[in-house]
Amino acid sequence: MSSNKTELTKNVSFFIGFDVAKAKLDWCLINQQGLEQTYGVVLNDQVAVAELLLTITGNYPGELIHAVVEATGCYHYPLLDASLAVNVPCLTYNPIITKEQTKKTVRGKKTDRTDAFLIARVGWSGGGRIHVPEPHMATKHYVRSSQKLSILSSSFRQYKQHFTELLDSQLTPEALEVLEGIQVAIKEARAQLHKDMLASVQGKTFTLLQTIPGVGPYVASSLIGEIQDMSRFESSKAVIAYAGLDPRVKDSGKIKNNTGRMTKRGSSHLRHSLFLAANVARRHDPQFKALYDRKRAQGKSHTVATCAVARKLLKVMRRVWLSGQDYQVPEDLQT
C-alpha cells in the first residue's frame, strides 16, 4: 500500500473511481491493495448513480467505501448529490493529477476504463478531499448563467445587425418583431437572474468585499459563488492558482522557465470577474494604479499589467474576507 496514505483514507476498504462524461460515468472499484475488483458504466443521473452506490455498499456490508472523482466543470454534480444522499463519502481532486498519472503509464495509454482506475488510485493513495455541500452553490449557478446570457446578448446583437443589414427591406414586420422579442427576452432573463443572484448571497462577506475598489454587487456575488469558502485556501498563492492566475512554468530537466502566461486552469468565470474588478481598481485606487503603472513602465502590455493587478486584488480580497475588516488603502499610498 502507498506510504503516503492519509489518516482520512487509510482505513477505507474500497475506492470507486468515476471517469465523468456528460451522459455517462465509467466506474472502477479497487480494493485496499489498489487492485481492480470490477468495472462498469452508469448513466450520469443522480438516481442511477445512487442506485449503483447502494448496490456496491450492499455487496460489501460493513466495509468503508469512498467514491473518487475529478472536479471537472459541472458534470460530476449528480455524483456528488448521489453520494450525499446515500451517505458514501466522495473525494474530489484537481484533474491535473490524473493527466500526470496517465503520462506514467505504458505509452501514455488512455481509455475511460484506465482513467476510472487511475482516479480510484488517487483516492487510494490519499489524494483529494471529502466533498461537503457548498453553501453558495445557487449563487455560482446564477452568476455563471448571467455571464453566459451576457455573451449571448452581445452575440445576438451583432448577428441581428448583420442580418438586418444583409436583408435590408426584405425583412417582414413579423420577422423584425421576432428579433426584437428575442432581444427583450434575453434582457429580462438577465435582469431576473441578477435579482436572484443578489438575493442568494446577501451577508457580511458580500458587504465587506464591496469595500474593495472595483468590487460591486455583481463581482462580490461572483467571488462568493466561485470560491465558496476562502478558509480552505491556506495561502494567497493557493487561491491565485485556483483562479488560474498563476504563471505557467516550463520544466526541462534542471531548467525551469516562467513563460509569463497564465495557467488558466481554474474557473474562467472567476477570472472574468477579477479582470472586471482589476480594470476598475487600477483607475480609482492608488495601490492598484501604482502596480499597473509600474508594470506598464517595464514594457508590459495592458493585459499583462491588468493580470498583475488581478493577482494583487485577489490577495486583498482574501485578506478582507478572512479578517472580517473593511478594505483600507495602505498608509504610504494615502494622499
Residue pLDDT, tens place only, 174-221:
888 998 999 999 999 999 999 999 999 989 999 999 999 999 999 999
- Contact present, 115 and 98 (Cβ < 8 Å): yes
Given a cut of 80, whether residue 8 has pLDDT beyond it is no
CA-CA-CA-CA dihedral for 51, 52, 53, 54, to nearest 10 = 50
53 and 154: one domain?
no
For residue 2, tell me if it sits in a domain.
Answer: no
Domain containing 292: what range? 217-333
105 and 67: one domain?
yes
CB atoms within 10 A of CB 12: 19
CA distances from 233 to 73, 244, 313 (A): 20, 14, 16
- Contact present, 186 and 153 (Cβ < 8 Å): yes
- Quick one: cell of 35? 487492485
Within 8 A by CB and 6+ apart from 59, the residues are none
94 and 169: one domain?
no
Q: How far apart are CA 227 and CA 219, in angstroms?
A: 12
Q: What is the mean pLDDT of the chain?
A: 86
Q: How far apart are CA 97 and CA 129, in angstroms?
A: 13
DSSP 40-64: EEEES-HHHHHHHHHHHHHHSTT--
167 and 256: one domain?
no
Asked whether the CA dihedral 26, 32, 36, 39 is positive or negative, the reply is negative
Lowest mean pLDDT of 16-25, 27-36, 127-136, 317-326, name the range: 127-136
C-alpha gyration radius of the chain: 24
For residue 280, tell me if it sits in a domain.
Answer: yes
Furthest-apart CA atoms within the chain: distance in Å? 75
- Quick one: cell of 56? 456496491
pLDDT in tens, 128-177: 888 888 788 889 888 989 989 999 999 999 988 888 888 877 888 888 89
18 and 126: one domain?
yes
Eight-class DSSP state of 211: T
- The amino acid present at 108, given as its one-letter code, is G
Q: Taking the CA of residue 120 as centre, how many other CA atoms within 13 Å lie in the half-sphere pointing to its CB?
A: 28
CA distances from 198 to 1, 144, 187, 202 (A): 48, 13, 17, 6
1: pLDDT confidence band, cut at 50, 70 and 90? very low
252 and 316: one domain?
yes
For residue 33, tell me if it sits in a domain.
Answer: yes
What's the pTM?
0.66
For residue 58, tell me if it sits in a domain.
Answer: yes
For residue 47, tell me if it sits in a domain.
Answer: yes
178 and 83: one domain?
no
- Quick one: cell of 239? 487561491
pLDDT confidence of residue 99? 53
183 and 242: one domain?
no
For residue 9, tell me if it sits in a domain.
Answer: no
Overall number of domains in the chain: 3
